[in-house]
Structure 1
Amino acid sequence: MTRSVWLKADDSVGDWDARKRRITAGLEAGVDWVLVDEGDVERVRELGSVNVAAFGSDDADVIEEADPDAANDDAMPDAYVAGKGGEGDGTVELPSDLSGSADLSALRRGHANAAYVRVLDPEYESFAEQAAENAEFTLVAGEDWTIIPLENLIARIGEETTLVAGVDSAAEAETAFETLDVGADAVLLDSDDPDEIRRTVNVRDAADRERLDLAWATVTEVEEAGSADRVCVDTGSLLEDDEGMLVGSMSRGLFFVHAETAESPYVAARPFRVNAGAVHAYVRTPDGGTKYLSELQSGDEVQVADRDGHTRSAVVGRAKIEKRPMFRVEAETEAGDRIETLLQNAETIKVATSEGRTAVTDLEAGDELLVYLESGARHFGESIEERIIEK
């Protein structure tokens, strides 16, 4: 599941100057959506590139039947939201028969494709459930928000709609993303604090990250392998001391290779770089696939992992290919499978061992290497159930 952060910036925030400050902070932090009143859509687009949702009126253009050319109109939101000034936010009392609801009617007729509901009591939970039947996005907020209503909504409508939970802080966002081990799809943040907005985006990123089960494999052989075309992957991010990439000659077993974050008597640290191996090798990508190192180019994304298996994505700024002397490193897994890769014969290339961070030039048979093991094979980078022999 890909999580997202929505930022509330309608007229309840204040005048345009106050809304603009909040929106600008959100754009700088990397929010996914901004929720405004319909009249502010064009203003938001002038500030930067972001998805824009707008509280719309019942006479708004029908979403499904809108003029295709109008989709490019800067004043056209990416989502119309029903509920403000109506039954959704409690301005208008809920009818005893919800089939007569104006907000639900707007959703059914396509005048809106999103619903905003303040969960004031159990009746509003039911209202949110009915709104979700026709809403692509269902935004729910509460005056006295507790974990129980959100659990109910995730269980009842989580698969029907994109559920967006209203929050006031990054801590509440973390709870929303973790509830019932499934969590809300998104959060709607109501905060002016740039630091709080940034922390909430960080919570989103952490929730999206894959956690890998890394394992140990025992080195069986390290031998010189002549020269090969070696790839340095230079990312647009600064990597931490315990981070690196997963690379290898065989898709079923990838080796953890550290980023060049350590100082050396020979060269300065390059904390954005992983000297990853020869051009034929695989590198793991954020979607769980692989790419050949030779395929990487500026703008591609690669997966960065730490020794505990926490992952994140990084953008490739440059893939640098040069002919260098190489080692062939072979290791055996606990199950007795043999995996290997080619790494440059240089003191600055370090792998993760049970003893810590070890230069490939110091690697010996019997050392334990950190690896990622995967069953099955790869075809064009995708995991498949097929018998393929790699040797």
Structure 2
Amino acid sequence: MKEFIVDARNFDKVLITTAIESGADAIIVPEDKLDLAKKLGRVKFICACKDGSLSDDFVIVKIENKQDEEKAASIAKSGKKVIVETTDWTIIPLENLIAQSDNIYTFVKNQEEAETAIGILEKGVKGIVVNTKDINQIKKISNVVKQQSEKLNLVKAKVVSITPVGMGDRVAVDTTSLLKRGEGMLVGNSSAGMIFVHAETEESPYVASRPFRVNAGAVHMYTRVPGGKTVYLCELSAGKEVMVYDTEGNGRVVYVGRAKVERRPMLLIEAEYEGKKLSAVLQNAETIRVVGADGSLISVVDLKVGDEILGYVEEAGRHFGMKVEETIIEK
């Protein structure tokens, strides 16, 4: 997810409060006002010193010509976090800078500029720094950043086997968000082939809906987190970030409120797509649903060999959760 920073060097308390309430990742405040700022809320503060420098390895570079661009690129390559400033967005060589470094941030004044900065070269800037006195724009820009989607190409995989595998420890992920019909998590015995498990948004004759929950499956499985990374389900705990997706493959970040590990009867579900294997170990219960190729919800107790379900496949292997191009065989 892109970093959402608000420039409050003018130390406007209303602006700072709005930034905190809007979920800002950090707020820039004058160094001599830091103690006062900390009383307004618990958030990361970046100090602006009297000489114009910033704390936390941030550097503001004003770009007016090619030499300034080269200076910004050089600083970014050294590991510093460069915030690009200019009087005219049409002359910002953001594309050139983003192509050279992942440490590029930029000032924005409104929602439109934020959307442009996030979308440049598809990957966009690392973060945006909001420089406005309009608290409504802060809220709008927050929505742009926080709701930014990771887009995956989901596939329609054919179920080839469904096998009871006895008792196992499974993880029910209770998020701090209300998930909608059509949303769920991607889980898999391998990160290279994952199955879409739907959130518990549906009423059941046996239990009330739990729209904040995804009964994600066995503790050993992978699931996706921000930044294109994966973690084991057993690693999820309160406060951790996790990705949820809709049936079109649009992802968003939610936070874990609780991860419940309980011993339950389990099913191994295996599917194939163009010769690639997808598999997951899910709880054997009526309330656990996968998603059919037509978007319908299918309980695992009703799932049949030959059914097509939604999943995700990727080519690269994983090393400590990071995608890498190497040969990894998982059986």
Q: TM-score, normalising length from structure 2?
A: 0.84
**Residue 97 of structure 2 contacts residue 104 of structure 2 at CA under 8 Å; is this kept in 1?**
no
| 2:114 paired residue number | 173
- Look up the match of 1:188: 129
Shift in Å, 1:26: 0.5
Structure 1: 5+ residue runs without aligned partners?
64-76, 81-112
Unaligned runs of 5+ in 2: none
Structure 1's 365 and 285: CA in aligned 2 closer, same or farther, altered over 3 A?
same
Aligned length: 323
1:25 aligns with 2:9: no
Deviation at 1:180, TM superposition (A): 4.3
Distance 1:352 1:156, change over 3 A: closer
Letter in 2 for 1:327: L
Indicate yes or no: 2:195 matched with 1:202. Answer: no
Q: Which residue in 2 is equivalent to 1:90?
A: none
CA displacement, residues 305-326 of structure 1 (integer Å, 9 cap, x when unaligned): 2212222233322222223233
Q: Equivalent residue for 1:226?
A: 166
> Amino acid of the residue matched to residue 47 of structure 1?
L
Indicate which of 186, 190, 214 corresponds to 1:250: 190
Give the TM-score normalised by structure 1. Answer: 0.72
Change (3 A) 1:303 1:52: same
Matched-pair contact (CA < 8 Å) for 1:131–1:138: no
CA distance in 1, matches of 2:163, 2:60: 63
Which has the higher mean CA deviation after the structures are superposed, 133-142 or 314-323?
Answer: 133-142
The answer on 1:78 being equivalent to 2:55 is: yes
Distance 1:377 1:162, change over 3 A: closer
Instruction: For 2:126 and 2:316, locate their aligned partners in 1 and report how far apart those are by CA, in whole Å.
Output: 30
Q: Distance in 2 between matches of 1:161 and 1:258?
A: 34
- Confirm or deny that 1:45 pairs with 2:38: yes
Higher Rg of the two aligned structures = 1
In structure 2, the partner of 1:344 is: 283
What is the identity percentage for the equivalent residue pairs of Structure 1 and Structure 2?
39
The structure carrying a bigger helix percent of its residues is: 1
Determine whether 1:140 maps to 2:82.
no
* Distance in structure 1 (CA, Å) of the matches to 2:272 and 2:102: 46
User: Which residue in 2 is equivalent to 1:318?
Assistant: 258
Structure with more relative contact order (C-alpha pairs < 8 Å, separation 6 or more): 2
Find the aligned partners of 1:247 and 1:138 in 2 and give their Cα distance: 37
> What's the RMSD between the two structures over aligned residues?
3.0
What do the CA deviations read for 1:192-218 (whole angstroms, capped 9, x no partner)? 4444212212222344x4322211110
State the SS of the aligned residue for 1:42: helix
Q: Answer 1 or 2: which has greater strand percent.
A: 2
Query: Is 1:41–1:54's contact at 8 Å kept on the other side of the alignment?
Result: no
Distance (whole Å) between structure 2 residues aligned to residue 163 and residue 376 of structure 1: 26
